[in-house]
Amino acid sequence: MTDRPDDPRESVPWTEWDTPRERWLMTEQDAYSWPRSLLLEVIARVLFPTVLVFSVYLLLAGHNNAGGGFSGGLVAALAFVLRYVAGGSAELAMMVRVRPPVVIGSGLAIAVLTALAPVVFGDPVLASGIWKLQLPVLGELKITSNLLLDLGVYLLIIGVVVDLLRTIGAGTEVGGPGVDDEQLEEERG
Amino acid sequence: MLVAILAHFALAAVLPLVARRYGRAAFVVGALAPAATLVYALARGGEAVSGAPPLETLAWAPVIGLEFTARFDELALLLILLVSGIGAVVLCYYSRYAKPDDHRTAARDSALLVTFAGAMLGLVLADDVISLYLFWELTTVCSFLLVGGDGVAKRLRTSATQALLVTTLGGLAMLLGLILLGTAAGTMRISEILADPPSGGIVTAALLLVLLGALTKSAQVPFHPWLPSAMVAPTPVSAYLHAAAMVKAGVYLVARFSPAFADHPAWWIPIVVCGLWTMLLGGFRALRQYDLKTLLAYGTISQLGFLMVMLGAGTWMSALAAGTLILAHGLFKSALFLTVGIIDKRAGTRDIRELSGLGRQWRGLTTLATFALMSMAGLPPLLGFIGKEVALEALFEGGTVDRLIGVGVAVGSVLTVVYSLRFLRGAFGTKPDMAPSAPVPCGRVMTGMVAVPSLAGLVLALAPSVIEPVETGYADRYGKDPGYHLALWHGITPALMISVGIIAAGVAVHRYAGVQRLGGYVPGPLRAQSWYGRSVEGLESLARGVTGRLQVGSLPVYLGVILTTLVVVPGAGLFSGDIDFGELRLFDNWLQVPLALLVLVAAATSLLARRRLTAVLLAGVVGYGIGAWFVVDGGADLALAQFLVETLTLVVFVFVIRRFPPRFIENKAYVGGRWVKAVIAGVAGTFVAVLAVLYSGYRGGIPEASRQYIERAEDETGATNVVNAIIVDFRAFDTIGEITVLAVAATGVASLILARSRRRNGTVGRPEPTEQDATDDTGTTETPEVRS
């Protein structure tokens, strides 16, 4: 992130367009007060996108197979947990740009709006609609309005877990806010 | 009529905008709503007294039979004259009384006063008990906010809180009473309850509860102290709420229900006893007051008691007296309060020990105030005199009980004459040993606003036939019209002689200053205010005691209480029925055996663990083992969720135990406590295990609900995964509830942790880190963020 240009819209020479926008791993200068495990950090980095994609699969597959918003959300949240375990709150802050309460709120809002939307069309609250589309290559695609409710659950779970990581993690971390390190050492003996 | 109520609320919503721009002119704009309502009500007055009052109904929640019905009858019309008429006058008056540059106060008070006027209008029109209660509490809330003002001074807050606590206590009791009454009558419509009043023990309780609401709202003994305390509000607010409108709500309630229940002993005895007591005590206390406003407040209490007595007496004549007095009291009391406002504002004080010679300076205002005072004291030719004549006639023509009540009312009226004279002399008299107050103009607009109610009292007394249809229309609900007409002169009647006696006695008492010095003294233990203070203190210490004992702050104690409850409550049920363990099998699938062994071994080993981390990991093994069991049994969704939650739990556990010593602390002196914990844990664990076996023994196949879920999942939700169909469709309402709980819990946990870390860092009040800081990866994200 330190290497990122100040203005992202600044034009980059085409020869450099593929240089990483941020340092992939943090360096020793970054704030760490415990021994780092390079292996763990690299593995976490590599797995992170894959796990997120898998969580989206679970979200979408839930309708017909094992999965759903709750499981998908937990899997995505565990991806963040993995990053946090590897790199601590600094790592978490690097990837989470949105404040977790915002994610929680959006999830809840999506779920509630999905529940209320049928009222506009004269149906009872929480009535669900099913639409079937014929797509040229993919074949038949079935979309249900419940998916939106599941999406709300998914987002909310991610937000809740990341929020807990941010607060419980930060509150118990060496060098974290409100943590008296000397007292901590004393307690730990 | 419904439109008029809505217009008040709509206007109140835009008044703050008006006030922000034009300041106190907002009050004049606000006066439009009550003024228009008054005109409209007068125009339709003929329909109200016609015997078939207009009804307007608005469906609210028709599924449960909830609707709002406005019924525009004589009583409603009578109260609208006060609520809207005096409301408009007070709002116009306030536009000159308010400070020209204080736009915030203007915005708040104008909007609240108009809301209040709308709520009162709704209250007197409402014909079903639920909306009656809603409007009732709305007036309480408005009163709280108006008395509390900006809430900066402690005096304002305590007074506002007292008014709120006392009137809400009554309001809640009234709600219960109204619901009981409605249930007993089988209808929530007031007019139908009154047309066919129910009877029985429940009705007695209901009437007492309803009365509690009326007595607290109308500041009857022993609930009266909130009213003098509320005099800290701006004078126009006091004039409207505590003279004309809000305190009349209790009187209105009694007036509304009296026609049906006047013969019920649980109704009229409390009303008459409290009313008489209030009338005498209020008059007595008023004799000693030096603050003109407090004097009027005690006078109001006394007059409200008088009104209650007349309504409780429950005859045609007494109802006519009550109706006339309600109108007369609203008119003269608002005129007097507005006069006090002028004195306070212009002369700089309302203490009668510091006022002198105002009568000579402000001849116009003095004349108007004198009319109002004459009406209050019951002197001709004013409306108060007519009302009092009817009242005395009603009481002294009746039986022994009525005559006894009449004696009490006569004594109370003597006190009224005395404190009226005290007001007149104190406010306008020239005291021999004091220099006259500095000459200042009293303000034309404000004096004009005093003139409206004051002269109305005079004009209506000279032409009582204008209001007679309204008053007799209401009185007709109590019985046959005996052919009495409102008039200033009925010839030389016993009532007139008693009136003359009352006035003579009042003047004599006033002259004989020694009696006045005695007046108003109440021994300490009998003062209602100290009782209020003691009740509030008692409640607070009770709350402290309960919280201190329940919330001890020890996790083992909380867990122990929860587990003991778990064992005792359902466990007691086990003793009552026959216990059938069903057909027990060792296992269904050979894979279950190693899994069960794994779980058992992990659970047993965790007891022996000395390191916290080991114990947590072993607990995790138990969880994963159960998850694996779900897989074996074919519950893929359940297993997935179990694994994920177990993982997350483990991670959070590990985070938290970083803060703990690595090993469990063994305190040798604490062996007894450990045994208690071991017993509770062992019993609870065994109980849950037994319960699990029992429940599975009682299951005979798939329950009907599950069968329906499986059958309909594909067709109705398009899902082949039934678990998912249940979560997001069949029981989606539950899901939304659950995620809401989750969101609230997460926010609460985060707030607690962040609040704690802020306090420990001593950084309360530090500027919030900017977004730039928060995303900087140099560790500043650990700075706690201020959350709403």
Examine residue A8 and state whether it is found in any structural domain, yes or no.
no
| pLDDT of res. B552 | 85
pLDDT computed for residue A31 by the predictor: 52
Q: Which two tokens stand for residue B710?
A: 């499986």
Average pLDDT, chain B: 87
Cα angle, residue B194 at apex, residues B190 and B200 outer, rounded to 5°? 110
User: Helices B246-261 and B201-217: crossing angle, nearest 10°?
Assistant: 160
Nearest to A170 among B717, B749, B782 (CB): B782
Is residue A151 within 8 Å of A9, Cβ to Cβ? no
Contact B247, B277 (CB under 8 A): no
Structural domain including A101 reads 14-188
Q: What is the pLDDT of residues B707-762, one digit of tens each?
A: 888 888 888 777 788 888 888 888 888 999 999 999 999 988 888 877 766 555 54
CB-based contacts of B519, cutoff 8 Å, min separation 6: B284, B287, B288, B418
Please give the Cα distance from B183 to B205 (Å, whole number): 13
Quote the CA–CA distance of B713 and B730 in Å, as a whole number: 9
Interface with chain A: mutation pick from B637, B655, B728, B787, highest number of A CBs within 10 Å: B728
Nearest to B278 by CA among B329, B318, B219: B219
Number of compact structural domains in chain A:
1
Flag whether the ipTM exceeds 0.85: no
Is residue A7 included in any domain, yes or no? no
CA-nearest residue of chain A to B715? A130
| B587 phi and psi angles, rounded to 5 deg | -160, 160
The answer to the question of residue A6 being in a domain is: no
Give start-end residues of each CATH 1.20.120 domain in chain B.
Answer: 599-775
Contact flag A77-B774 (C-beta cutoff 8 Å): no
For domain B599-775, the CATH architecture is Up-down Bundle (1.20)
Dump pLDDT digits (tens) for B262-294.
Answer: 889 999 999 999 999 999 999 988 888 889 999
pLDDT of residue A110: 93
Domain assignment of residue A107, yes or no:
yes
Q: Which of A30, A89, A184 lies at the smallest CB-CB distance from B659?
A: A184
Q: Which residues of A touch B750 (CB under 8 A)?
A: 101, 163-164, 166-167
Q: Share the mean pLDDT of chain A.
A: 78
Cα distance between residue B356 and residue B96, in whole Å: 24
Q: Searching chain A, which residue's CA lies closest to the CA of residue B656?
A: A172
Per-residue pLDDT band at B10 (split at 50, 70, 90): very high
Global pTM value: 0.74
The CA distance from B191 to B612, in Å, is 70
pLDDT tens digits for B106-153?
999 999 999 999 999 999 999 989 999 999 999 999 999 999 988 888
Is the confidence at residue A127, as pLDDT, over 60? Answer: yes
A2 lies in some domain:
no
Q: Which pLDDT belongs to residue B361? A: 86
What distance in Å separates residue A189's CA from the closest CA in chain B?
A: 7
User: Per the omega criterion (within 30 degrees of 0), is the bond before B222 cis?
Assistant: yes
Question: Is residue B777 classed as helix, strand or coil in its secondary structure?
Answer: coil
In this structure, what is the dihedral angle of CA atoms B126, B132, B135, B141, given to the nearest 10 degrees?
160
Per the CB < 8 Å rule, is A175 touching B757?
A: no
Contact between B750 and A164 using a beta-carbon 8 Å cutoff: yes
Residue B753 has its nearest CB partner, among A2, A74, A171, at A171
pLDDT at B783: 36
Q: In chain B, pLDDT over 70 holds for what percent of residues?
A: 94
